[in-house]
Amino acid sequence: MSESQKHVVVLLVKSPEMTQFFLAIRMALAFLSTGARLTLFVMDDAVLGLLPRNYRDPASFPLAPVLSSGGEILVCQSTAEPRGLLAENLPRGVSFETQVHLGQLSSEADLFLPFL
């Protein structure tokens, strides 16, 4: 199986202030650069990485490089909404998903990397 056929799923729960948050982004971008299919599932405080840093630029959110490089971002709705991230606030190309779906993704992925 070539690298481009591999599906990598990254689970991110740490907030944007944590080192693990940016390490996960760098790893996700590295996998995307090899042609892998990448799904980033964010939950808990990691959902704050979808909020713009500059409200005049909606694409200024910390997870934007993953989307612009071709990655998929899924958000745990049950942990996002209590933190103020609602469907109408999600960046274009990002969607809500469930933790049940995360479980399915983790069992089907070629590589599952949790950043807890």
Instruction: Identify the pLDDT of residue 27.
Output: 97
Which pLDDT score is estimated for 70? 97
pTM above 0.85, yes or no: yes
Backbone torsions φ then ψ of 32, nearest 5 degrees: -65, -35
Measured CA to CA in angstroms, residue 67 lies from 32, 95, 100, 107 at distances of 10, 12, 23, 23
∠ CA 59-26-96, rounded to 5°: 50
Q: Give the chain's residues under pLDDT 70.
A: 1-4
Note the pLDDT of residue 1.
41
With a CB cutoff of 8 Å and minimum separation 6, the contacts of 5 are: 37
